[in-house]
Amino acid sequence: MIVREQKSPLSSKQGEAGSGARSLRHLVLTGAMLGGLCMAFMASPPSIAQAQETTNADAPDTFELLDLFGEVFNRAREDYVEEVSDKELIEAAIEGMMSSLDPHSTYMNSESFEALQTHTKGEFGGLGIEVNMDESGLVKVVSPIDDTPAARAGIEAGDLISKLDGENVKGKTLNEAVEIMRGPVGAEIVLTIIREGVAEPFEVTLIRDKIQVQSVRSRVENNIGYIRITSFSGQTQSGLEKAIESIQDEAGDALLGYVLDLRNNPGGLLNQGVSVSDSFLEKGEIVSTRGRTPENIQRFQATPGDLTNGMPIVVLINGGSASAAEIVAGALQDQHRAILLGTQTFGKGSVQTITPLSRNGSAIKLTTQRFYTPSGKSIQQLGITPDITVERARVEVIEATPQRSEKDLAGSLKNEVEGAVATENVATDTAIEDYQLARALDLIRGIGLYRSQAAN
């Protein structure tokens, strides 16, 4: 579904975007954080006529298989060692059918669907961990969300969760693991973490909290505007506009450019990814989506009005940048509007449609489209390659070994200025904590210096 979104007076721009929501199953945020996925809502389920038209083409095989399903269903409800409700059996069957399609298609019961709708408003409860299911059967952290219990406890993208309160994760579905990680605000949970480069698994105790996601944060660093987008919720575009306005007010004419930080951003609403991209572009395609049939193509175009007035932009990306974050990075890279710095992105290049079902307030999330960058490239499983690869690193001052200088040479000339004293190099302990950001800031300063010299 396509909707038209009116931007604030700051941008005075209007762009087309698909309405969206985020997911619950794979790339789900613990508690009720439903992310990492570009999605669109379908207003209503398919009609009965449409369903009949689909099934009539292969009716004989379909009805035989439905009879088979009924037989298995009856056997399970009557002969299983413990009593299982019809609701549990049918929902499990639906979940199995959806999950067999791809990692992002799933069935959502009324609780899951309600949680998804809550998250799109930017507020949810839980730990603040974006997760999916690893091939080994463990829960894998896609990314922790800034300023949440998970981020404060040091959980990192790529961590594997092997136990929850001492209970093995293997053998559980992702939804079952997520349910265990949910709980009342203030309650503890112990995660057993397996981390690459760490010899033994270790435990981390987290305190569940109510998560209010401020999806955009900003500040000015040495006349460079720094903007971090942590996810793409319904508040992202308005937050971006406020951030740019604040940076411009603080830095004024001394502003050199912007760093847009999309690291560990799991994605979110498709229309917000399109709108954010449009904020930095004057024209050109932002993204296209293509469905099952060749004619089912949507193209999203930028509209005039760059909020940054064409100033230099460096976009920070890494393996935790996914979905809508990849749409923004891909659009700005292909349109030669920004320099991408960091490491390869996650590679989630599909769009999910949320269809409310006619009963019980439930819904299905179904992968319906792939998305393509302006150059026509699909990033599915491949991700986006940065223009400048900069690995995560830590820079520290190395203690210098004593060296001889001119003053140590016998009979060397004295300095003609009376009382002159050599300045010693004083080592400090101010290590660069964010090496990638430091390189991005250096790049913006370099571009500013080049432009200044060219103008003179």
* pLDDT surpasses 90 at 254: yes
Q: Which residues of 343-370 are buried (b: 16+ CB within 10 A; e: fewer)?
A: bebbbbbbbbbbbbbeeeebbbbbbbbb
Query: Is 166 inside a domain boundary?
Result: yes
Query: Is 380 inside a domain boundary?
Result: no
> Any idea which residues carry the catalytic annotation?
323, 334, 348
* pLDDT surpasses 70 at 122: no
Residue 13: pLDDT band by 50, 70, 90 thresholds? Answer: very low
pLDDT at residue 47, rounded to an integer: 52
Q: What tokens were used for 6?
A: 């009116």
Query: Is 402 inside a domain boundary?
Result: no
Query: Is 162 inside a domain boundary?
Result: yes
Query: Is 168 inside a domain boundary?
Result: yes
* pLDDT surpasses 50 at 16: no
Instruction: Spell out the residues 6+ positions from residue 73 whose beta carbon is closer than 8 angstroms to its own.
Output: 89, 90, 93
- Grouping H, G, I as helix, E, B as strand and the rest as coil, residue 187 is coil
Q: What are the pLDDT digits (tens) for 185-208? A: 888 999 999 999 999 999 999 998
Q: Which domain holds residue 141?
A: 130-212
Query: Is 52 inside a domain boundary?
Result: no
Top-confidence residue, 13 or 52: 52
As a whole number, mean pLDDT of residues 293-301 equals 88
Taking a C-beta distance cutoff of 8 angstroms, is the pair 302, 285 a contact?
yes
Query: Is 181 inside a domain boundary?
Result: yes
Instruction: Report yes or no on whether pTM surpasses 0.75.
Output: no
How many domains does the chain divide into?
Answer: 1
* pLDDT surpasses 60 at 81: yes
pLDDT at residue 85, rounded to an integer: 93
Residue 28: pLDDT band by 50, 70, 90 thresholds? Answer: very low
- List the beta strands (DSSP E) in 94-196: 106-108, 123-126, 129-133, 139-144, 160-164, 167-168, 188-194
Query: Is 139 inside a domain boundary?
Result: yes
Q: What CATH number corresponds to the domain at position 178?
A: 2.30.42.10
Is the C-alpha dihedral spanning 275, 4, 375, 36 positive or negative? positive
